[in-house]
Amino acid sequence: MQDTRPSQKDAYGLILDSIDGGIYRPGDRLVESELADRFGVSRTPVREALQRLETQGMLSRDGRSLIVASLDHTQLAELYVVRGELEGLAARLAARHAAPEEVRVLRDMLEADQALVNDPQALSRANRRFHKQIHLASHNRFLVRQLDLVHRSMALLASTSLAAEGRGRGALDEHRAIVEAIEAGDGDAADRAVRDHISRAFVTRLKLDAAKVEAAE
The residues spanned by each domain of the chain are 8-68, 73-216
CATH number, domain 73-216: 1.20.120.530
59-62 β-sheet, strand order? 29-30, 65-68, 59-62
Instruction: Let me know if the fold of 8-68 is the same as that of 73-216.
Output: no
Q: Tens place of pLDDT for every residue, the chain, 217 residues?
A: 444 444 445 888 899 888 887 788 888 999 999 999 999 999 999 999 999 999 988 999 988 889 999 888 899 999 999 999 999 999 999 999 999 999 999 999 999 999 999 898 889 889 999 999 999 999 999 999 999 989 888 888 867 788 788 899 999 999 999 999 999 999 999 999 999 999 999 999 888 878 765 555 5
Assigned CATH topology for domain 8-68: Arc Repressor Mutant, subunit A (1.10.10)
169: Cβ contacts below 8 Å, ≥ 6 apart: 117
Please give the Cα distance from 11 to 39 (Å, whole number): 8
